[in-house]
Every structure is written in structure tokens, then in C-alpha cells.
Structure 1
Amino acid sequence: MADIRTQGLQKPVDVAEYLFTRLHQIGIRSLHGLPGDFNLVALDYVPKVGIKWVGSVNELNAAYAADGYARAKGIGALVTTFGVGELSAMNGVAGAFSEHVPVVHIVGCPSTISQRNGMLLHHTLGNGDFHVFANMASQICCDVAKLTKPSEIADQIDHALRECWVRSRPVYLMLPTDMVTKKIEGARLDSPIDLSEPPNDPDREDYVVDVVLKYLHQAKNPIVLVDACAIRHRVLDEVHALIDKTKLPVYVAPMGKGAVDETHPCYGGVYAGSGSNADVAARVEASDLVLSIGALKSDFNTSGFSYRTSQMNTIDFHSTHCTVRYSEYPGVTMRGVLRKVTERVEVGKLSVQGSPTVRNEVKENYEGSETITQAWFWPRVGEFLKEGDVVVTETGTSNFGIWETRFPPKVNGITQIFWGSIGWSVGAAQGAALGVRDMGQDRRTVLFVGDGSFQLTVQEVSTMIRHGLKMTIFLIYNEGFTIERWIHGMDEAYNDIARWKYTEVPKAFGATDKQVKTWVIKTKVELEKLLKDEKFQNGEGLQLVELWMPKDDAPRALKVTAQISAKNNARLE
């Protein structure tokens, strides 16, 4: 029967080889994850197609790393085993779904025969239900494919990978052990998967463009506001083309940090409602037309929903629709509309106001002490960063502090403000650094993480060492969970953590003196000396800086947002 089923195939290829070849074709060069008996045979195919097996320390960190890899390189993937492995990864995959990050999650599962017979296998719930975890995954993935029928598997894989890319959301592939070596049509591999977005209907698109241009030409003080989904759905070229032609003032939301060249003369800073600098807030809120591109108006991204802009003065551009004031146009996506608006806008009809000058205000935030304060540190970081850096900031002080940092050109800012999983950044930084190397680029990856967050996912430092990644870690030592302290419980024990010997962590994970350099920095003078050191600036290997900051200090924006968050948490109706 096997011969009958496969004799019509032009180029028979094993399912696992087909799957991993497709991953390679869409740009994945490193595969995160952990081995388990339900995925071991499939993993034998990984090196055969030119993909490197990373070998993560646990599934949660693997998911965080795949997320970071995707943000740096475009798309990421991880492999786990059924039940115990995939559930550990689920938090990381959910974060990718929440923040529109394309991650392929492959789960090795029991054979179709075992599933059909309802066998009492390890890693199951013991109830014969082999679909329970896939059903869970369906809530945090845009496509779930159970690869159980050889005649359908190639279609399922191609469809899932296309959905992952186009919709910029995770997908879930369930690969039974007895399907790994089944033969399917390999001739399909000669044609790459079509990853192009469906075009808008020309008439509907033209109508929306005409409406947008009407309001844009009439506006007295229009601005552009760029957010996360402009990055995730890959329209930054369109954004820059628009501002280059129109010279409109452009601002970013916190999740959009890094989306716009911050040395561009039109760039005006970060807008987050009450968390914004006063000049930025005044300029944005005085606008009579906001061109909002890829907005994700979550609480922390808006400083507790404190935007003071009216929908009557807003045009929203999204990956699935556009909204002009209160009129929604479903199915008319932003890429085509932005291109035509840029092409057809009459610059002479525009009323263009100036935007604030953005710079790193280091001297203005020097308060005369040698203590390293949050207000002084983040502008000083802006003077340390280089063109092309990958900057990863952890949920907490770093996510809010980086608002005060003016980036050089081509910096990739990576944050997780919406999902906000503590410890995400350590794994994400590893994945991002690996993604940069897989692109053949010599760029620094700089991680800013608090001591509390670091303790959750510290094992990922082992993976950084193992792969010799170029990584600079600024570990903010401030004795616990600062963002939680500012929301509630400034001096409560539940916001405290154990004091670790942080600079000894890399060596505990096997790093040699050649592989790692560490510092304990307690004063501004010490930090200035380090930041100006040429070897440190080059960032070779792993560099870990334990940076002492006051326990009760926090960035201005964090304090504002935390106060609003505390009030929202206490609301009764």
C-alpha cells in the first residue's frame, strides 16, 4: 500500500525534510527548542537542510528566543515535545501572538495509531484526549495544523507558514512520530511559498485614499504617529517614504520605538499620553489630524489609556483595515493605501508645523551626585549606542526608561510592552543576537534588564555563551521588582528578591575569562569611564555590567503609568 500511495510522487521527500526545508526557504537558519522522545527523529533532519539546532535550556526561554529571533530577522521557530514541552513554551508563544510576532511552533506528538487507540502515554493527561493541547494553542495561534494525512501535509505546512508571515502571528504544527518519515511531494519545494500580501481591491483602495487625502489637505496641523504594527507588518519603508515627501512631524508610541529614524529632521519623540514629555504631548494633542499607523493602544503603551487625541481627528492604518474618523473600511490594508497617499499627496496643499528637537538630555538630568539615577542614565545610554545596534529592553524600568533615549540611525528597538512577561528580554536578546549573526551582520546586541527579571530566565546566559554571541548586558541592580513597587507595595517583601553574585553567573555557566568580561558599577564616574572604553564599546563576546541604582528610583514615565495602573486596578465599576 505504501508503494501505491507514493508511486505517483515526482520527487518523494520525507515529511520532516519538507518541513525544515520550507523553514530554511522562508529565512530561518537557527531553530530553538528542546528534544523530547516525540520529536527526536524529526530533529535528525534539522542539520540536513542547513539549519542550526540551538539547544535551549528550557521551553519557555526557547519561545522567548524564537520571538526575539523573529523580531531581528523576520520570522522564528521552535520545536518542543507534546504536552510537557509545549505547555512550558505557551507563555512565550502567547506573547508573540499578543504582539504580532511570526513564530512557528512545531510540536512532536504521539503517533496517529497511539492517538486513535487512546493509549495511556506519558506526557498526556491520561484521558485519551490527544487534541487538548492543540485546542489550547488554537487560542494563541492564527493557524493550527495537525499533520496526520500525508496527502494533505504539504498543503498544511505551506498554508501555515504563509499565514504566519502574512498575518505576523504564531502558528502551531502538530507532527506525529509516524508521520516524520512518510513520503510526500518534494517537487513543491522547487517553488517558494507565496508570502505576498493579498492586494486591496483597487476601487475600494482608491476610495479610501481619496478620503484620506481630502482630510490631509484640509488639516491645519497634521502629524504622523507610528506604532508597533507598522514594524510587525513591515511597512516602515512606506512610513519613511511618506514623511520624506510630506515633511510631516512624526512621533512614535512606546511599542513603536525604533520604527522611525530618530535622527530624521521630522522626528519629534515618543508619545504616550500623560507619560510623554510635556512638549511632545502638547504638540500631538494640538493636532487636528493624526495619521496613526499600526496603533496598538494598550494600557502601558498609552500610559494608562491617557491619550488626549480624538477619533474625530484620527485616521488609523492597520494590517486588516483602515478607519477614517468613525468610518471603518474592512479589508483595505495599510500598505497599499500608504503607498498611494504618498504618491498622490499634493505637498503644496499641506500645512506642516515643526516638531520638537529630540536629543539626549544628559546634562539637564545631572543632579550633582555620583549616584546613577534613572533620569540621568537613559539619556546617557543614547550617547553610548551606535548606528545599527539591536536594543532589547525588559518589562519594567528599562521599557519606560528607553523612552528618554534618542536612538542613532537603524537601531532595532525590541520591547514587550503589551504582553509584559517578566524575564522575556533575556531569552529574546539571545534570539535577536543569533538572528543578527544569521543575517551575516556585525551588530551589537545590547540588553537592559532589571535584577528581578534577570533571575527568572538567567539560564539563557548559558545559551549565549554556548554560541559565542556578541552581547552586552546592563543588569540594573535595584533590589527587586521596581515596576511592581511603584504600582503597589513599595516596601513589601513580595517585591524583594535574593541578592545574587551576578557577575559570577557567566562563569558558573562555564564561560572562560576570554568569553566574558564583567563589571560592578556604582557611580557615574565609573560608568562614564566604562562607556568611553574602546574595547567595551566594541562589545566583543559577552559583557555583563552590574549597574547599581537606588531601590526606589524609576523613570518618570513609569511613575506616571504605575499611578494610573494602580487606580485602574482599584476601580470597582
Structure 2
Amino acid sequence: MATADIRTQNLKEPVDVAEYLFARLHQIGIRSVHGVAGDFNLVALDYLPKAGLKWVGNCNELNAAYAADGYARVKGISAIVTTFGVGELSAINGIAGAYSEMIPVVHIVGCPSTMSQRNGMLLHHTLGNGDFQVFANMSASVSCAVARLNDPAEVAAQIDHALRECYVRSRPVYLMLPTDVVGKKVEGARLRQEIDFAESPNEEDREDYVVDVVLRYLHAAQRPVVLVDACAIRHRVLGEVKALLDRTRLPVFVTPMGKSGIDETHPSYGGVYAGDASQPAVREAVEGSDLVLSVGSLQSDFNTAGFSFRLSRLRTVDLHSGHCVVRYSEYPGVKMRGVLRKLAERIDLSQLKVRPPPSKTTGEELDQGSGGGDEVIRQEWFWRRVNRFFRAGDVIVTETGTANFGIWGTTFPAGVTALNQTLWGSIGWAVGATQGAALAVKDSESSRRTVLFEGDGSFQLTAQEVSTMIRHSLDVILFVICNEGYTIERFIHGMDAEYNDVAEWRYRDLVPAFGGTEAAGARTYAVRTKDELSRLLDDGDFNERPGLRFVEVYMPRDDAPAALKLTTEASARNKPKMQS
């Protein structure tokens, strides 16, 4: 009897490899799987319905990777299936972005059979050199785990390990699934034991020491503040941060990448700190503090407005997912979750000096921005006006460009989730991410709105994914900012350069071209004046109707939010340092 047959007979509850894999995806909360079908993954895709998973079917693999990124930011984790070589390489930019921004995405690649690989067969979708590992090796640098699912005796353990790594480390993982392994048998009894996603605790003595050191500085500080950044969101410590704030009422600020990490209606919330691009009162409160408790800091150029943060190491406590830094002393292996919990429990309120945060502007006050004396929609006025349009619970997506910077000046209602890709900054990301985010909302059986602000230049890269929104009847409000090209690039370099121009599309016409009809819930709009925009944003039907609402918003080509101008100016000042 063959070895494989003996192994199958020894299994208590044999299930196929693909059945096991997709059952695990369902267990961890995934309900829809993004990707593009290809001949090396087709048999595996047949197993999706049995696991209770829905196949999305994106227009291309890059868009699918962007969509999986957006889905994971809302749902907690996501999955994408591509085919070997041509498919996975099309997705790798999106996967790299998820790695850069710490997003847990499970990338499953259908690949040629183990026999084909052993024999080095000259197959399509290969480089023609018999090397079947080259693409997995490429993905290894943008994945926290790579699993080649070749041996059925090891596959179940490999899958479980990869999924745990994906979630705990909040990074993509890569699973290589050969066609002849899809139907091989593994132990299904393992499925009754859910994967343990609990974070390993800190060594108690080391954790207590760090907590005592931080408390000593906190109790002595005269103007302490908290600064929340992206890694606090990605590594899921916002509950611990909220507990600390609720107990202490310490003033709290967020970075651009940390926006929506703190409930902006919280009495301790003070605004967005972005160095030179901050509101003056925010900048004064943060830079004038004698102790900044920084949670999950990620000090990239755009997240710091061109490296213009002015936070002295002597006045900073940095808490991270894998270590803590108190002034100039680093404590490797001491993770921020345990430290935050004990700080909230042990802080002596009688020794704590708390100053109120800067007063927040109301939505009505923000709406009074002049933006010029005419009816032209300019960036300053636009972001003040849409501030009043937002609702509690919205998912708000902003594209790299003017939208990513304009959103800094808004104040969100409670429960908003903001999605941006400030670090990786791949233009076009937001259209795919919005499709994934809106689908995650739908899969969660939620009534939250998904709102996208997209530049016309970025939109042209990934416009096809609007058709996926339509096909899956997703509720999306999509604003295309029509300003004749790459405005962010104009302010970096080449204000009138041809390479920053784009073709003028009839953007609204894409909706019917992609199959969107009013009968099916899709509707298009165009606004060219402040009055037209205000009337649209106040319109009950526009706000309440389900389906796709696609809006062209026309703005001048040489206009940008103040935060973008300040950031590019700061970047220009620091450019010699970055190039040296």
C-alpha cells in the first residue's frame, strides 16, 4: 500500500487540504476572498462555497491586493488568491504595501503540481528555467511567513502557523498551494481547536521595571501628553489606550496615520499632530510638553510633514509592539500592550498633572472657511464643508495626494474608521481599498457608510474596481476630485510639467459603462460650485440611498490643502539630508 494511502487511513477525520485552509479562513472572520481566477488555482476555488466563503473576482490582481488590504483594515484580516507567476507578481505591489503598512493579508498562490516542480517542466507562467521557487523567494521579503504546502503530513500545521503569524505580527503571509495537493487529505479534527491568536506576555519583572520607570517620569511631568500613531491601530492596543485616557484624562493627539485611532469626540482629544503642518495650538501643546507618551510611533516623511516633528528623546517615552524606549534607554522584548495596561492600573492620579487639550472646532465653525469669495470649490473650503457631512461610524478612505492631507483638518464623529496609505503611498490604492472596505462592512452586516475621496490621476490607475463595487451591490460614496492631474506631484516638483497631467476622462460615464444603473442603485453627480456641493451633501436622497453614489468634484489644478503645501515645503528643506 502506498505511503499516502496509509497516512490517509490513520486520519480520524480526513478533509481535503483546500477544505481545511478555507475552513480556517472562515473561522478567523473572513467571509469574502479577493483575487483573480487562473488555471493553477481553479480547483481550489471550487472549495470556497463549502467553507461559507464568497468569491469576489477582481478586475486584476493589483486591485485585488489593494482590496484585500482595505478589507483587512475593517474586518481584521483578509485573503487573496492569485495564480502562479503572472498573477502573484501583479499583486506583489499591493502585498508590499500591506507589509509596509502592517496589514494582515493571507496571500494564497495556486501553483503547478509538486511533480511538475520536481521535474523542472517547461510550463507557462514560468521563467522557462525550471525554477519554481523564484516567485516565492520574491514574496519572502514582503511576507512575515512563507509556507510551501507540498507535504500533506505538514500542511495543516503550516497553515495554522502562517495564519497565527499573519494576525499576531500584522503582516502578509504567503501560501504556495500546488494543484495536486489541493485534494490531498489532512486531519480535519484539528479544526475543532481554534488557532490561538493570543499575544505572548512580557516577562513580568522586565515589564514591571519599565512601568515603574515610565510612571516616575509621568508623575514628575508638568505637561504630559499622549501621541497615538499607526502601530497602535495595527497592533490592536486602542482599547488599552482608551482605558488609560478614561482614567487619567491626559490630553491625546494623533498623527496623520493614527487618525481615527482615538474617538475624536473624547474629551481628551486634541487634534492631529504633524509637525510644521499642525494647527498652531496642537503644535504648541505637543512640542511644549515635557513628556510625550508616544504609542506605536511610525515617523515616516509624510506622517511627520517632512520630518518636521520636534520631539526630543529626553522628553519622550516610545511604546512599540516589540520594544519600549524611555528617553535614551531601550527595553527589547517589552511589548506595549502589557505596559499600557499596568500604566492605567497603577498611575497615581494625585501625582498626575493634567492640562486640558486645545479647544476643538465644531463642524459648523469649520464650515465657515472662506475658501475665496467666489463659488469655486477650493481645497480649504471643501474639507471644512465635508467635515459636517461625516456621520458616526463612517469608513472614510483618502487617496495619496490632496485627500490624504486635506483630511487632517477634519474632526470625525464617534466610531469613524479612517483608511489611508501614508507610508507606502501607491496611487490608486484607495479605489481597491474602498471596494474591500465596503465589502467588509457588508460582510459584517453593518449599515456603516464607506466614503472615498479620490484624485482624478489616482483614479485612472484602478478605475476598473468601480465595476466590482457595482457587481457586489456595495454602498459607496465616491468623490473624484477633478483637478487635471497629479496635484501632490505638482507641489513636489513640476507645477506645469506635462508629466503631471492626465487625460481628461468623462468619469461619470464609467458607471453605466461598468454596468451601473439607477434601477440597481448606482447614481452619478457633478458639482462645480460651492452651492452645488452643499446642496448635494445636504440632500436626503443622496445621504440615504443604498448603492454607488459617484460624484465628480471640480477644483482648480494649482490648489492644495495647506497641510500638503507645508509638508512639501518641509520635505524640500530636508531633501539634502535625505539624499546625502
Range class of TM-score, shorter chain: over 0.9
Instruction: Give 1:278 shift.
Output: 1.3
SS across alignment from 2:309: coil
The residue aligned with 1:418 is 423
The residue aligned with 1:548 is 554
Counterpart of 1:497 in structure 2: which amino acid?
A: V
Q: Are 2:263 and 1:258 aligned?
A: no
Q: Are 2:463 and 1:458 aligned?
A: yes
Q: Are 2:406 and 1:404 aligned?
A: no
- TM (norm. structure 1) is 0.99
Distance 2:398 2:381 in 1: 17
Q: Are 2:541 and 1:535 aligned?
A: yes
Contact 1:145 1:157 in 2 (8 A): yes
Distance 1:565 1:427 in 2: 28
Contact 1:379 1:406 in 2 (8 A): no
Distance 1:457 1:500 in 2: 14
Query: Which of residues 502, 509, 515 is equivalent to 1:510?
Result: 515
The residue aligned with 2:303 is 301
Contact 1:444 1:539 in 2 (8 A): no
Contact 1:142 1:170 in 2 (8 A): yes
Counterpart of 2:245 in structure 1: which amino acid?
A: I
The residue aligned with 2:568 is 562
Distance 1:380 1:320 in 2: 40
Counterpart of 1:554 in structure 2: which amino acid?
A: A
The residue aligned with 1:347 is 349
Between 250-259 and 2-11, the greater mean CA deviation after superposition: 2-11
Contact 1:472 1:539 in 2 (8 A): no
Q: Are 2:443 and 1:468 aligned?
A: no
Residues 317-332 of structure 1 correspond to what in structure 2 (within 5 A)?
A: 317-332=319-334
SS across alignment from 2:180: helix
The residue aligned with 1:238 is 240
The residue aligned with 1:131 is 133
Between 355-364 and 57-66, the greater mean CA deviation after superposition: 355-364
Instruction: Give 1:366 shift.
Output: 4.2
Query: Which of residues 255, 266, 269 is equivalent to 1:267?
Result: 269
Counterpart of 2:498 in structure 1: which amino acid?
A: A
Instruction: Give 1:109 shift.
Output: 0.5
Instruction: Give 1:153 shift.
Output: 0.5
SS across alignment from 2:433: helix
- TM (norm. structure 2) is 0.98
Distance 2:425 2:545 in 1: 27
Gaps of 5+ in 2: none
Query: Which of residues 424, 429, 447 is equivalent to 2:434?
Result: 429
Distance 1:272 1:324 in 2: 22
Contact 1:124 1:130 in 2 (8 A): yes
Distance 2:288 2:196 in 1: 43
Instruction: Give 1:348 shift.
Output: 1.3
Distance 1:569 1:54 in 2: 42
Instruction: Give 1:535 shift.
Output: 1.2
The residue aligned with 2:180 is 178
Between 508-517 and 121-130, the greater mean CA deviation after superposition: 508-517
Distance 2:534 2:569 in 1: 32
The residue aligned with 1:389 is 394
Contact 2:517 2:523 in 1 (8 A): no
Instruction: Give 1:482 shift.
Output: 0.3
Residues 127-184 of structure 1 show CA distances to partners (whole Å, capped at 9, x for unaligned) of: 1111111111110000000001111111100000000000000000000111000001
Distance 2:111 2:485 in 1: 39
Distance 2:437 2:456 in 1: 20
Distance 2:12 2:218 in 1: 56
The residue aligned with 2:198 is 196
SS across alignment from 1:4: helix
Instruction: Indicate the percent of aligned positions where both proteins have the same amino acid.
Output: 66
Counterpart of 1:565 in structure 2: which amino acid?
A: S
Distance 2:360 2:385 in 1: 14
Distance 1:569 1:309 in 2: 20
Corresponding residue pairs, total: 573
Instruction: Give 1:570 shift.
Output: 5.3
**Residues 539 and 299 of structure 1: CA distance in aligned 2, closer, same or farther (over 3 Å):** farther
The residue aligned with 2:502 is 497
Distance 1:385 1:539 in 2: 15
Contact 2:214 2:326 in 1 (8 A): yes
Contact 1:315 1:325 in 2 (8 A): yes
Instruction: Give 1:3 shift.
Output: 1.9
For the aligned residues, what is the CA RMSD?
1.0
Query: Which of residues 140, 143, 156 is equivalent to 2:142?
Result: 140
The residue aligned with 2:69 is 67
Instruction: Give 1:33 shift.
Output: 0.3
Distance 2:401 2:346 in 1: 43
Query: Which of residues 532, 537, 559 is equivalent to 1:526?
Result: 532
Q: Are 2:104 and 1:102 aligned?
A: yes
Residues 86-97 of structure 1 correspond to what in structure 2 (within 5 A)?
A: 86-97=88-99
Contact 2:371 2:377 in 1 (8 A): no
Instruction: Give 1:367 shift.
Output: 3.1
The residue aligned with 2:493 is 488
The residue aligned with 1:279 is 281
Contact 1:17 1:45 in 2 (8 A): yes
Distance 2:571 2:137 in 1: 33
Contact 2:483 2:556 in 1 (8 A): yes
Instruction: Give 1:565 shift.
Output: 2.6
SS across alignment from 1:328: strand
Instruction: Give 1:566 shift.
Output: 3.5
Counterpart of 1:240 in structure 2: which amino acid?
A: K
Distance 1:282 1:388 in 2: 30
Instruction: Give 1:563 shift.
Output: 2.1
Distance 1:205 1:510 in 2: 57
Contact 1:6 1:12 in 2 (8 A): yes
Distance 1:19 1:365 in 2: 56
Distance 2:356 2:447 in 1: 36
SS across alignment from 1:260: coil
Distance 1:566 1:129 in 2: 44
Counterpart of 1:517 in structure 2: which amino acid?
A: R
Q: Are 2:338 and 1:336 aligned?
A: yes
Counterpart of 1:238 in structure 2: which amino acid?
A: E
Distance 2:540 2:155 in 1: 53
Distance 2:93 2:572 in 1: 24
SS across alignment from 1:179: coil
Contact 1:12 1:186 in 2 (8 A): yes
Distance 2:296 2:506 in 1: 42
Instruction: Give 1:364 shift.
Output: 3.5
Contact 1:317 1:333 in 2 (8 A): yes
Instruction: Give 1:342 shift.
Output: 0.2
Instruction: Give 1:207 shift.
Output: 0.9
Residues 181-226 of structure 1 show CA distances to partners (whole Å, capped at 9, x for unaligned) of: 0001110001100011111111111111111111100100000000
Counterpart of 1:330 in structure 2: which amino acid?
A: P
Instruction: Give 1:569 shift.
Output: 4.3
Instruction: Give 1:539 shift.
Output: 4.5
Distance 1:477 1:288 in 2: 44
The residue aligned with 1:447 is 452
Between 55-64 and 362-371, the greater mean CA deviation after superposition: 362-371
Between 275-284 and 446-455, the greater mean CA deviation after superposition: 275-284
Instruction: Give 1:276 shift.
Output: 0.8
SS across alignment from 1:367: coil
SS across alignment from 1:363: coil
Query: Which of residues 12, 15, 22 is equivalent to 2:14?
Result: 12
The residue aligned with 1:57 is 59
The residue aligned with 2:165 is 163
Distance 1:544 1:5 in 2: 56
